Amino acid sequence: MTASGPAETTSLPIGSDADLSWVRRRVRQLAAGLGFGLVQQTKLVTAASELARNTLVHGGGGRVEITALADGPRRGLRLSFIDTGPGIGDVELAMTDGYSSAYGLGLGLGGARRLVDEFLLDTRPGQGAVVTVVAWVAGVPTPRTGTG
């Protein structure tokens, strides 16, 4: 997940249902602009929607930071959903398939994790949560390092 050169980050608030629409729209626009195919866009927007909803409902609101990535010929998007809510008390349960709030898409964190290439969850009780996901444009070879 190395960016070649400084990456520009867009920060969007997540404080209302209307903000969820803005997050989905912006993620789709940026993904399309980077060359993500329609299926990839849909997966990324679905994961973003679930994570933004979690930020609003469980974290009491927060923000998403969206960063376009470049790693050699690869292009991708990093989305970091940040809140200062109560945090996730039982991460193992929250990551369990089928565990979801009544308000989400029914994916839960585990479902969102399967829709992206990279997933990182940082949470501490009483200190909020940061969920960072990365998706790379498909079909671009991963750079190899070292010799033969």
7-23 per-position pLDDT tens digit: 789 999 999 999 999 99
Phi, psi torsion values for 34, nearest 5 degrees = -85, -5
For domain 9-136, give the CATH superfamily: Histidine kinase-like ATPase, C-terminal domain (3.30.565.10)
Give domain limits for the chain.
9-136
Q: Which of 30-44, 48-62, 76-90, 128-142 has the lowest mean pLDDT?
A: 128-142
Beta strands in the chain (DSSP E): 9-14, 62-71, 74-83, 118-123, 129-136
Question: pLDDT band at residue 75, thresholds of 50, 70 and 90?
Answer: very high
Beta strands in 15-73 (DSSP E): 62-71
58 and 101 in contact (C-beta within 8 Å)? yes
Residue-level pLDDT at 100 = 58
Residue-level pLDDT at 1 = 42
